Amino acid sequence: MCMAQEKNPSAWAAALGVIANHHGMPVSNDMISRAFVWSAAKTFEDNVVQAAKRLGLTAVFSKTNLYALPVFAFPIVAGLQEGGATIIAAVGEEEITCVNVDQAEAIEWKIAREDADKYLTGTFLLVSAKKAVKDARLARHLSNYKGSWFWSMLLADKRRHFEIAIASFIANLLALGGALFGMQVWDRVVPAQSVPTLWVLASGVIMAVLLEYSLKISRMKLADMIGKKVDLTISSMFFARALDIRNDARPKSTGSFIAQLRETETIRESLGSSTLTAAIDMPFAIVFLFVIWMIGGPLILMVALALPLIIIPGLLLQIPLSKLSNATAQESALRHAILVESIEGIEDIKALQAERRFHRLWDRYSQASSVTATKQKQYISMYVYWIQSVQQLAYVMVIVAGVYMVLAGDMTTGGVIGCSMLTGRALSPFAQLAQIFTRWQSAKTAKKGLDDLLEKPIDHPTGAERMRRAHITGEYELTGVEFGYDPEAPANLRIGSIRIKAGEKVALVGRNGAGKTTLLKLLGAALPAQKGAIVLDKANIQHIDTNDVRNKVSLLTQESRLFHGSIQENIQIGSPLASRAQFDEALSISGAGQIVRTLSKGLETTVMEGGSGLSGGQKQAIMLARTLLRDPSIVLLDEPTSAMDEASEKQFIKEIKPWMEERTVVIATHRPAILELVDRIIVMERGRVIIDDRKDVVLARLQGAAVADMPQKTAQIVKLKSAE
């Protein structure tokens, strides 16, 4: 397949966007472009197909005869010989009508049919809208929670399960060869002293053993393939789910959250080939019991009595094991929580000389975990020893009963030997019950924790009818909005009414804890309003597709952080296809360009997790550049200059002012200089709006009020503005 089109992915992104709009699914090219860059697909064609799926489209690459396609198949996307792609809108008797959409404006052009090979690669992307899918853009990982998700994944590959069952059946039949061989040797070969017969039988058994070995290896590989597939699916599913959990529903403890996600490893262990094959082998014990009955008749009672002696204690053991497994999971979560908290706050712990406190907490949780683990091991060990004892007793009783039958002339010596060997084979799968029961309890506990994650609300619930907005101007209207972090405490934010016009520049001021950051997060759809309505561009923000809101809204809070990677990767992480001019502009406005020039490796300087090794001002400048590079229509900034010196702040204000002209901007600040950027000030106190008016009016009102009655930070702003 010609890959010239790979040189210009933006053309394919633009073409898919146009076709999605044609099918009634408005999208922005930025969304598709990011999907191209971050896709894990190995080939460019797979990237395109995956991007189409996210838009609710079905896309297939084909080298079909263009002129044989029916009229309803159009529009389609075609690769160009010079690179990139074009939309073929229609094919006439003499001309092919094409539309190029990767420019500022769509350009229609025509190709004569005889010149098609000069321009087109012959590779076409046939695109159609999916049917009976409400939100096909979402991966199956974000589908509505179902309690049977584990079994549906495990049993999804029915063909391989059937192959494993067939291989197990044949392998267990072949396992009969050893017992029957021993019986025949002692009953026929030894009395007849027939050495040739011995070797003929031995050759057959050797072949059976080798074939049984091959079947077990094949069965193991099939089981591992199933386990690997389920493991990767579960791992991907829960990581996608973890990323999509709504911010207000996210677990408060990072360590406990990590511990919950690590439960997928417990599921992985339960899907090991040894566990699966042991479980599959158990039903085949009936085959061995049947053969024992055929050979030894009443001897089957000795083996049949052993089975309940093995199974019943194992079932009773599930009661304490279940309690211990739950306790282990809780203690593991606590250990993870204290571990993550200690590592993240290690500098403060050392500065406060609080190492002993955290060490004591770690030892306490470790001791509790060790006690639980020891009890669990003791129960399992006792059960393993019990199974071994029952197996030995069953073997002894078969021999004893068999001797009586031989003395009575009801059975041969070879028959007793064969039955004794078959007894071991019949009970051997049950010897692994201890391992199966242990892993089952661990998996069951792990599944409870994972179920809890699946039940949490997510940003992109399937089946939710949400509006698509490719363009958002930034007109807000808040009415009766309330939000609280603690459901048992009064709301942290209560907004009676706020209206922000598109293109308006607004400052939020007030003392710490006034609710400024929370309001910014509500405006940026990072948090949902618990009461009231936030209307964005005449539509409730919760009714607009979350991707579309975040595509046009850039939110920078004080909790924002940098990620491990180069400075360039950190800046481009949200805008991977930004042009060099846009990148340089973001560096210049934010002040990050000046910082980069002082570093020996420049943009390739490695940033550690959270920006460790960079100063507060450097981190803030880089995050500002990342925010500006997204080219949003709505900009929400929380203390954007809090870590800057006065000179850097003045330069930032000078650079960003013209950039902000046509954008809606809301800035939470304690710095008076920032007020130069805004036309309106909203003063907040204890989660409520106490003043909301034009900047000059608000400053005049504040100047006339008693400074002692104003919030501390607001008073500081008034004093500084008055001195200017």
Q: Which helix (H) or strand (E) holds 532?
A: strand 531-536
Please indicate, yes or no, whether residues 516 and 561 belong to a single structural domain of this protein.
no
Please indicate, yes or no, whether residues 8 and 23 belong to a single structural domain of this protein.
yes
Please indicate, yes or no, whether residues 544 and 565 belong to a single structural domain of this protein.
no
Give the domain-ending residue among 138, 167, 186: 138
Please indicate, yes or no, whether residues 228 and 359 belong to a single structural domain of this protein.
yes
Please indicate, yes or no, whether residues 115 and 148 belong to a single structural domain of this protein.
no
Instruction: List, in order, residues 6 or more apart from 586 with CB less than 8 Å away.
Output: 571, 578, 592, 625, 626, 628, 629
**What is the Cα–Cα distance from 380 to 656, expressed in whole angstroms?**
67
Please indicate, yes or no, whether residues 389 and 430 belong to a single structural domain of this protein.
yes
> Hey, is 485 helix, strand or coil?
coil
Mean pLDDT of 229-233: 79
- CA dihedral 645→646→648→650, nearest 10 degrees, is 160
Give the domain-ending residue among 397, 419, 454: 454
Q: Does any domain span residue 653? A: no
pLDDT, tens digit, for every residue of 545-598? 888 888 889 999 988 888 888 889 889 888 877 788 889 999 999 988 888 888
Please indicate, yes or no, whether residues 210 and 298 belong to a single structural domain of this protein.
yes
Q: Which helix (H) or strand (E) holds 497?
A: strand 493-500
Please indicate, yes or no, whether residues 361 and 505 belong to a single structural domain of this protein.
no
**What is the Cα–Cα distance from 249 to 241, expressed in whole angstroms?**
12
Query: Is the confidence at residue 353, as pLDDT, over 60?
Result: yes
Comparing 653 with 445, the larger pLDDT belongs to 653
**What is the Cα–Cα distance from 289 to 302, expressed in whole angstroms?**
10
Q: Does any domain span residue 83? A: yes
Please indicate, yes or no, whether residues 219 and 245 belong to a single structural domain of this protein.
yes
CATH number at residue 572: 3.40.50.300
Q: Does any domain span residue 74? A: yes
Give the domain-ending residue among 122, 138, 154: 138
Residue that has been written with the tokens 């042009």 in this structure: 579
pLDDT, tens digit, for every residue of 3-13? 334 456 677 77
Q: Report the residue count for the chain.
A: 724
pLDDT value for 723: 46
**What is the Cα–Cα distance from 194 to 702, expressed in whole angstroms?**
115
Q: Does any domain span residue 652? A: no
CATH number at residue 183: 1.20.1560.10
Please indicate, yes or no, whether residues 230 and 300 belong to a single structural domain of this protein.
yes
**What is the Cα–Cα distance from 574 to 560, expressed in whole angstroms?**
13
Please indicate, yes or no, whether residues 501 and 594 belong to a single structural domain of this protein.
no
Question: Half-sphere exposure (CA, 13 Å, Cβ side) for 673?
Answer: 16
Query: Is the confidence at residue 373, as pLDDT, over 50?
Result: yes
- CA dihedral 131→133→137→141, nearest 10 degrees, is -140
Q: Does any domain span residue 283? A: yes
Comparing 677 with 35, the larger pLDDT belongs to 677
Number of domains, the chain: 4
Whole-model pTM over 0.85: no
Mean pLDDT of 677-690: 92
Domain range enclosing 422: 142-454
Q: Which residues pair with 495 in a beta bridge?
A: 481
Burial of 683 (0-12, 13-18, 19+ CB in 10 A): buried
Radius of gyration (C-alpha) of the chain in whole angstroms = 35
Mean pLDDT of 330-339: 82
Mean pLDDT of 286-308: 87
Question: Half-sphere exposure (CA, 13 Å, Cβ side) for 163?
Answer: 15
In this structure, what token pair is assigned to residue 143? 């589908």
Please indicate, yes or no, whether residues 108 and 183 belong to a single structural domain of this protein.
no
